[in-house]
A and B are shown apart, each in its own frame.
Chain A
């Protein structure tokens, strides 16, 4: 293990991360919200912490091995989760315990969008902006950003990239060189964000809200600058804009890349995952809207459709914006929506959950077994598009699925043991692991009311979900540390 080289990289990245305190400082100065010092202190603190790690190790330029890559990614998210909490913890405007600050920061970076803060509307603008910005940084992946801007991560970069990018097939590069791939991804991400911010502004938001919400939308995060989330604006246009961009951000970014490069929509049409993604959302949306209308939850059909559709897209992509109190919706709807978040976005998107492609392949694998029962001698390849899938990928998906369910169960039981009721415990773990945000029961609106132990477990759940289990779990195995 090349600890010095790892520390050097972490130090460097921490120094880069410290500069993300500068925009909130600017915001604080513009709005004169009297919250300048926490961000300034955090900036200096993180810069020096990074320097402290980097300076003694700056000459350790050994090539990173596979294992080092895992440590760097995991350590980095862990360190940033803590580093991101500093300005929140330091702020006097809104007293926060260490647990709460870390929870909020982790929830931001992993684009979960679960919050422990009540009274967002009265917070200083700089903190509000900072929360949104954290989601934006976490959305595409901080490592991917680092690979894009730091050529020194060149070769080892692929290992890091693989450890962070969501989805089962991580070998597909958009361009031959990893830095170019990472840059392409960030250009698309940036482009979507700008388009989204302008659209929000045109739909009637203030610039501050428009930029903040565009960060949370394109990153599929779900933080809002208002307690009532998207419901605050009570505007059909704004909701429509949000729906469009949530849908777009939940699509594999390589499709955006291909479409943009070839100026056509064919890449979308040809992609089986994309079609399945739309089909699933459409089916659930129809069910939800019909049920809402039939049960007279909303007075008119248009309102039922408006509320239902928004909530389905928000939960299906794991964003977590709300326009209605969906947890009080009748019958099976709250659970259906929560289950939908397990499917999540497409691989290579900013969405959470298990990813559409995995669910699709698990389903196909199931169907294959059925066909094998009917035709015991048949050779039935699992296909994606027209191509038969490598059996190795299928195996890794099974492994992923079993670990996902196992981790989910263990953490839910832990939460229940810590004193939460079952609905709250299960929904909180699901919402955090899928990087969704709002759960059911006590955590439907915010996570302020649960105990500290539960919050730490949920922090872990968010990280596990964002890094897709393996990257974190591999560090917990003795085999990894054995020399």
Chain B
């Protein structure tokens, strides 16, 4: 696929890295030559220096035969205009833009085809905020990923002492919980993936990915570990884009405090948020944290845009007694350094966001992609089309489908029904099939599985 990425910031460059490794033709446009040249040295991409929305710059970037344009500069206006130009001058088929300002997003008619022709609007901050909110609302989960508009969830939990299933075979799950259907999609033991079978024994410290209907998630988590008390008290460090959104989405149901070191920033937030307590100060200041009862805090979220500050303040909060700490960490290298023993949950915004973009890059009808384990694995929601003769999946029982190695089908969503996968389940047309792929190199084969043969058209 020929893809033009506008803006070589955090989102742009991480998307470029992921897509370039999948043999796409990537061109990156940015105003700052130095930044893109560094990218070109690292990745197999072409770079163009210039203003992202100028037609001549887009032309140089090869907009005439591009399949997709991805506008992620830090200016909403540039992104919107670039998509408009790509549509009017170059007839680019898919146009994705990052638009952050609520003022624009509140007017959906703006983004109609005859106004601002943007096919997909993304707001990385909102995606990240939703992601964190889901984790906070589901104590014990490391990751919570939605499929089929939230009807099905893929959840990662760490198995701990005290979970009824720990030390038992997976097939015991059914006896433990009659009436609740779930499927374990993958288990990571000491960083290595194991393909689960009925005989697999869950060990302490395993990272278990399971799929279940939304209402059953809590019950399944309770099998893997003692369930934590619901979260009440939350401290957020950093009142930036994400911190503020997070506070807004949590303040009605939780006690939220937010710390920001910039006084005018803090005043602005306090005007904006009604129930949140806004504190002006340094999130890594132990006295401030103690004064605010850090030892009774259920979750401490370090959400500034500075990795080091996030890591240090989260570690400090943990030391001072916060029950669970999370930190936003942009650099992949840091995640390996701190996760599990020092910081409970490290959140990589790029990885959270990239899934929503990958869904548009994947061939075949893919409704949702979640990138997992630093991009090594993927969970995909693919839609089955065609009939028995034109499709490799429709009309076949799951047992009969030739899945690539390391791939499991976790669930099938048929209309409003969630069917947890088992060998005899027959896939019907328009089913949403949720797959877990342990090795990203196999994605190509999965795509091919869901592409409809020529006969369909």
Binds A, one of B36-44, B93-101, B131-139, B344-352: B36-44
Most chain A beta carbons < 10 A, residue from B23, B42, B46, B47: B46
Verify B44–A171 contact, CB threshold 8 A: no
Asked whether, in the complex, the Cβ of A171 is within 8 Å of the Cβ of B27, the reply is no
Interchain CB contact under 8 A, A171 and B2: no
Interface size on B, residues (CB 8 A): 16
> Which residues of A are found within 8 Å of B452, using beta-carbon distances?
none
Chain B residue numbers with a CB within 8 Å of A158 are: 40-41, 44
B307 contacts partner chain A, Cβ-Cβ < 8 Å: no
On whether the beta carbons of B47 and A177 are closer than 8 Å, the reply is: no
Asked whether, in the complex, the Cβ of A176 is within 8 Å of the Cβ of B40, the reply is: no
CB of A235 within 8 A of chain B?
A: no
Q: Assess whether B40 is in contact with A171, with CB atoms less than 8 Å apart.
A: yes
Judge if B157 is at the interface, Cβ distance under 8 Å.
Answer: no
Residues of B with C-beta under 8 A to A177:
23, 25, 44-46
Asked if B283 is at the interface of the complex by the 8 Å CB criterion, the answer is no
Does B26 have its Cβ within 8 Å of any Cβ on chain A? yes
How far is it, in angstroms, between the C-alpha of A426 and the C-alpha of B296 when the chains are bound?
84
Task: Evaluate contact between A155 and B44: CB separation under 8 angstroms.
Answer: yes
Which residue in B25, B37, B42 is a CB contact (below 8 Å) of A176? B25
A177 to B41, CA, bound (A): 12
B404 at the interface (CB under 8 A from A): no
A156 nearest in chain B by CB position: B44
In the bound complex, CA of A390 to CA of B37 (Å): 13
B41, B42, B44: the one contacting A154 at CB < 8 Å is B44
Q: Does B230 contact A (CB under 8 A)?
A: no
CB distance from B43 to the nearest CB of A (A): 7
Contact A178-B44, Cβ < 8 Å, known A171-B37, A390-B33:
yes
If over half of B's interface residues share one DSSP class (helix, strand or loop), that class is named, otherwise mixed; here it is: mixed
Which B residues are in CB contact (< 8 Å) with A155?
42-44
Q: Name the CB-closest residue of B to A178.
A: B44
CA distance A177 to B3 in the complex (A): 12
A157 at the interface (CB under 8 A from B): yes
Interface string of B35-70 (1 = CB under 8 A from A): 001001111111100000000000000100000000
Query: Beta-carbon contacts of A51-75 to B below 8 Å, as 1s and 0s?
Result: 0000000000000001000000000
The reply to whether A176 and B46 form a contact with Cβ atoms under 8 Å apart is: yes
Tell me, rounded to whole Å, the shortest Cβ–Cβ distance linking A264 to chain B.
14
- Contact residues in A for B42 (Cβ distance below 8 Å): 155
Residues of A contacting B27 with CB < 8 Å? 176
Nearest chain A CB to B379 CB, angstrom units: 27
Alpha-carbon distance A159/B37, docked complex (angstroms): 13
Q: How far is the CA of A66 from the CA of B44 in the complex (A)?
A: 14
- Inter-chain contact A175/B46, CB cutoff 8 Å: yes
Chain B CB within 8 A of A173 CB: yes
**B47–A171 touching, CB < 8 Å:** yes
Q: In the complex, how many angstroms separate the beta carbon of B289 from the nearest chain A beta carbon?
A: 42
Residues of B within 8 A of A176 (CB): 2, 25-27, 44-46, 62
A176 to B45, CA, bound (A): 5
Please encode chain A, from 158 to 181, with 1 for each CB lying within 8 Å of some chain B CB and 0 for all others. 110000000000010101111010
* Minimum distance in angstroms from B6 CB to a CB of chain A: 14
List chain A positions with a Cβ less than 8 A from chain B. Answer: 66, 154-155, 157-159, 171, 173, 175-178, 180, 390
Could you list 26 examples of A-B contacts with CB < 8 Å?
A66-B41, A155-B42, A155-B44, A157-B44, A158-B40, A158-B41, A158-B44, A159-B41, A171-B37, A171-B47, A173-B40, A173-B46, A175-B25, A175-B46, A176-B26, A176-B27, A176-B44, A176-B62, A177-B23, A177-B25, A177-B44, A177-B45, A177-B46, A178-B44, A180-B25, A390-B33
Closest 4 pairs between A and B when the two form their complex, measured CB to CB: A176-B25, A176-B46, A173-B46, A176-B27
